[in-house]
Amino acid sequence: MSAYGAIVRANAPTAQLPPLSYPLKADPSLSLSIHHVTLAQTPPEVLQLLHVAFNEELERGRTYPQEGPMDLATYSAYFFAADVFIGVLVPAAAASAVHTLVEAQAGRPWSDCLAGAYYVKPNYPGRSAHACNGGFFVLPAARGKGCGSLLGQSYVINAPLLGYKASVFNLVYCSNEASVRLWDSLGFQKIGRIPRVGRLKKLDGTGDEYVDAWVVWKEFETTSAE
Per-residue pLDDT reduced to its tens digit, 189-215: 999 999 999 999 999 999 999 999 999
**SS in 3 state form for the chain?**
CECCECCCCCCCCCCCCCCEEEECCCCCCEEEEEEEECCCCCCHHHHHHHHHHHHHHHHHCCCCCCCCCCCHHHHHHHHCCCEEEEEEEEEHHHHHHCCCHHHHHCCCCHHHHEEEEEEEEECCCHHHCCEEEEEEEECHHHCCCCHHHHHHHHHHHHHHHCCCCEEEEEEEECCCHHHHHHHHHCCCEEEEEEEEEEEEECCCCCCEEEEEEEEEEEECCCCCCC
* 20-166: in CATH 3.30.1130.10: no
- The mean predicted confidence, pLDDT, of the chain is 93
The CA-atom distances, in angstroms, between 68 and each of 58, 157, 209, 220 are 6, 30, 18, 32
pLDDT at site 217: 98
Domain ranges of the chain: 20-166
Global confidence as pTM: 0.93
Q: What is the mean pLDDT of residues 126-154?
A: 95
Query: 224 pLDDT band (50/70/90 cuts)?
Result: very low
Q: What is the mean pLDDT of residues 6-31?
A: 84
Indicate whether 3 pLDDT > 90: no
pLDDT at site 65: 96
Q: φ and ψ at 126, to 5 degrees?
A: 50, -115
Q: How far apart are CA 194 and CA 39, in angstroms?
A: 34
Q: Which of 118, 217, 129 is nearest to 168 (CA)?
A: 217
Query: 5 pLDDT band (50/70/90 cuts)?
Result: low
